[in-house]
Amino acid sequence: MQTLLIATWNRHKTREIGQMLGAGWDVRDLASLPHAPKLEETGATFEENATFKALTVSKMFTGLVLADDSGLEVDALDGAPGVQSARFAGPNANDAENRFLLIRKLRNFGGDKFPARFRCVMVLASQSELLGSFAGIIRGNVVLEERGESGFGYDSVFVPQGYAETFGELQPEIKNSLSHRGRALAKVLEFLRS
């Protein structure tokens, strides 16, 4: 069984990646590392943040390290919340507060759905060496009414292109097969197999 350390404290993200990888992988996160640091996302891009996290953690762990930075980009907001997705409503905001602010800002434009995309960049590293960067995007619309209990972050307000349900309403295996994170992870796995 191959071990993969996800450079995150976000249990939702760890669980989601573990579900996508399936059997044969021992997926861990920063909670499994003694003295693991809090990793500040100060980069201007998803790739900068993911690279920083992957290289920092790979100095402390001998196996494969995968870091992910992802977020929602809404056209009407000129790509916001973008790299600030997790902190959109402030540095200590939770998912509900971030969604509330997003919906409040979008209501000012009129309409009930807004073109958007989820973007994910995953960076793979091992022992301070960058092995690769992999991106995934899913396009769709943000809706102004939260729907569904599955997922996390902005899942309950994002409807992927070609679907009527939000990510929060879709079964996890369907969401994972469509999602930005799923698309990036498929590229990571293809790289590891080559």
The pair of three-digit structure tokens given for residue 102, joined into one six-digit string = 């997003």
- The span from the CA of 123 to the CA of 37, in Å, is 18
Helix 11-21 and helix 180-193, axial crossing angle in degrees, nearest 10: 50
Evaluate whether 14 touches 76 at the Cβ level (below 8 Å).
Answer: no
Q: Is 69 a catalytic residue?
A: yes
Identify the active-site residue in 69, 78, 95, 155: 69
Nearest to 180 by CA among 117, 115, 116, 120: 120
CB burial readout 162-187, b (16+ within 10 A) else e: ebeebbbbbeeebbbebbbbbbbbeb
Evaluate whether 26 touches 51 at the Cβ level (below 8 Å).
Answer: no
- The span from the CA of 139 to the CA of 137, in Å, is 7
User: Annotated catalytic sites, by residue?
Assistant: 69
